[in-house]
Amino acid sequence: MKYLLPLVLLASLATGVQAQDGAAPDALGFFRIATPEAQNPRIVDYDETWMITGPVSEFTNKAMQGENWRLLEGQIVYAYYRFSPGTTALQIQREYEKQVVETGYEVKFSCATSQGTCFNDAGAGPGVKLGILLDTPINMPTLDANNMSIVRNYFMSGGARYIYATKSLGEMVIHVAVALADTPQKGVMAVTKSVITGTSPGISGASSLLTELRQNRSVSLNNLLFDVDSDILLPESRDQLFEIAMMLREDETLQLEIVGHTDSDGGATYNLDLSKRRAAAVVRALVEGFDIDAPRLGSSGKGLSEPVASNDTADGKAQNRRVELRLR
């Protein structure tokens, strides 16, 4: 039997990103020993979602009914992880409960479909009964590389286990739900959803930029302006630089590649060099002007090789002269 390593898990939790940093809650630090899905985590700045907080009906026509279905609003974090084959869901459940309690969480509910403890109107049953409820009233997001894996499909064979825990941080409360698809031969899949209540629903330029970046993995900016044929940033660029800096401060785990692009004037070799210098100039401005840690930023240039519009018009050339942010 394969055992998890408590010392490794404690270290992961101790260095986990805090919810108030605008990133994944520290309770997800446990899952650093597993393999995350390709698009982990999916963070929604502010919305509402239903969460199971105790035994509920197994029937979907009774979903969202009863005191153990709670509608929560705040920042929502979705993250899914695959464990190595051979580790059982029971091992993961017990180790996870132990570790989150040691970091200040209270386990409010813990169950297993194979024991009939997840539902209040049924005995023992397959894990798919829980998987279907996770996708109710709307499907949880798909986070695999090809956006194909519907969450309930992880639970089509074997049983399922579920943990709901909370932690108070002043006016904020972190709610964490972990569902384990118990398929040890294939590798247990952990499906997690966290809701951080008590956060502000306010929308800023930085938070909007961060949301777009997380959704699309890259963002093109047209408000970083340079002197003609130069890598000198113009004063009008400061507001855009400020938004990028605030975005990086909202999520201290965020790492960016700054990519420069040009129009076709001047030839390929000249524009490749210019695009590289302009991207590097943005990095310098963020590091020197906004105290962003340099290792979080990289730079590269594409020159005229990746146009987004025709270079035959002035408007098209203006669109092609841009800086792109990409997640590293």
pLDDT at 288 over 70: yes
User: Which residues make Cβ contacts (< 8 Å) with residue 149, sequence separation at least 6?
Assistant: 37, 142, 143
For the chain, strand residue ranges (E) read 35-36, 42-52, 69-82, 106-112, 159-169, 172-182, 189-197, 218-221, 256-261, 297-303, 322-327
DSSP character at residue 84: P
**Which range is least confidently modeled, 42-46, 152-156, 212-216?**
42-46
Residue whose token pair is 């105790």: 54
For 164-305, where are the alpha helices, taking DSSP H only?
Answer: 205-216, 238-250, 268-290
pLDDT at 4 over 60: no
pLDDT at 14 over 80: no
Residue 25 banded pLDDT, cuts 50, 70, 90: confident
- pLDDT tens digits for range 103-151: 999 999 999 999 999 999 878 889 999 999 999 999 999 998 888 899 9
User: Which domains are assigned to the chain?
Assistant: 6-197 (no CATH), 205-327 (3.30.1330.60)
Q: Which of 275, 279, 285 is nearest to 248 (CA)?
A: 285
Q: What is the pLDDT of residue 204?
A: 65
Residue 208 banded pLDDT, cuts 50, 70, 90: confident
Residue 202 banded pLDDT, cuts 50, 70, 90: low
Please list the residues that pair with 42 across neighbouring strands: 78
Higher pLDDT, 145 or 159: 159
Higher pLDDT, 19 or 126: 126
